[in-house]
Amino acid sequence: MKKTILLLISFCLLSCFENEKEKKELVAKNPYLNQNSVTVLIPQSLWNGKVGEKIRETFAAPITGLHDCESVFTLMPIHTNYFPSDAKVSRNILILSSSFKTQTTHVKNKYAENQNIYTIQGKNQEILLNQLQLASKEIMNTFYNSEINLILSKNKINTKLQKQIKKQFSVDIQIPTEYKKGLQGENFLWLRKEVGSGYNNMLIYTASFSALYNKNAMVTNSLFIRNQVSKKYVLGKTEGSYMITEQAYYPSFHTTEIQNKLAYEMRGNWEFHKDFMNGPYVNFAIRDNKRKRFIIIDGFAYNPVHSKKELLFEMEAIIKSTKIL
């Protein structure tokens, strides 16, 4: 009897492991589950017209700051009425269909967890295009934030680093275990993660309100602060070399929010003075009203081979977990 029970337990455990393995293989093989992908269910005629053009313009726009042309989302169009089962489990689904009703609806978790389905309906192309223009910002933000939250939910936290950052900067950040502490200063911390033939790097430092708001030249001041910190801490192999913001192109800069705090987002490319390394960066300055300062977290990637899009997106997700204590 005992042998039978043990055999049954062993069989159940083996079945669980096999099921888990099958799930992982399914995720790995299903292109509709790739990070930052959007499944678009749309008739071929609409996809080839202005509606499709607007979808590609909005969701597949090039990412600011990348020399390699990589889009914000990878679009996965389906042009039939039949919705394949592997596509149904997509996290981000956009459906466009002809109907006498003019409406845009949003349904969550219909076929899978962490799923958002937007359906846009209208009786002709002009109405569909108008509905898409009205709803595109909301849809884009929902899909984008959903992917950010998914990354954060999968991360295992480096609690030791998390505690150190709390003590040093009075902020809580979900730093994954793969990141290790690098150089540290009185008001500075460098975190680094090895990625294949390169690194993901995050610099944490602070700046006063007056430093960023001086003469209302926000972008100029942000660039100056970034270059000053980089010159001091991010040095190259060649004597006299250090990281600077790429001078050939002006960075993108806009206002946003992180954990309900005002923040400024800057994106562009970095390079080395007297050296040949370069890559993209994303820089967030988060306003800390309590201490009249900005917490600045600068993520910059260096990897000649790996997709910079994925590297930057991971660091952006980590930065957006920042809570000022």
Q: According to the model, what pLDDT value does residue 95 have?
A: 93
Q: Where are the alpha helices (DSSP H) in 214-293?
A: 218-233
Closest CA to 316 of 119, 36, 42: 36
Closest CA to 279 of 319, 317, 307, 240: 307
How far is the first Cα of the chain from the last one, in angstroms, to the nearest whole number? 58
Q: According to the model, what pLDDT value does residue 216 have?
A: 77
User: What is the reported pTM?
Assistant: 0.84
Cα–Cα dist 17/143, whole Å: 31
Domains by residue range for the chain, with CATH: 28-154 (no CATH), 159-324 (3.40.1000.10)
Judge contact between 212 and 294, C-beta under 8 A: yes
Tokens 């001086």 correspond to what residue? Answer: 214
Record the tokens describing residue 274, joined without a space: 């007297």
> CA dist 93 to 38, 253, 259, 274, 311, Å?
6, 29, 26, 47, 24
Q: According to the model, what pLDDT value does residue 217 have?
A: 86
Q: According to the model, what pLDDT value does residue 287 have?
A: 96
Rounded to 10 degrees, what is the CA torsion of 238, 243, 245, 248? Answer: 10
Residue 180, amino acid: K
Cα–Cα dist 317/266, whole Å: 15
Q: According to the model, what pLDDT value does residue 79 have?
A: 87
pLDDT tens for the 325 residues of the chain, in order: 444 433 333 434 334 434 434 344 444 477 788 888 999 999 999 999 999 999 999 999 888 777 677 888 999 999 877 788 888 999 999 999 888 889 999 999 999 999 999 999 999 989 999 999 999 999 999 999 999 999 998 889 999 999 999 999 999 999 999 999 989 988 999 999 988 788 899 999 999 999 999 877 889 999 999 999 999 999 888 888 999 999 888 899 999 999 999 999 999 999 888 887 888 999 999 999 999 999 999 999 988 877 788 889 999 999 999 999 9
Closest CA to 256 of 169, 117, 144: 144
Judge contact between 228 and 257, C-beta under 8 A: no
Local structure of 127: helix, strand or coil: helix
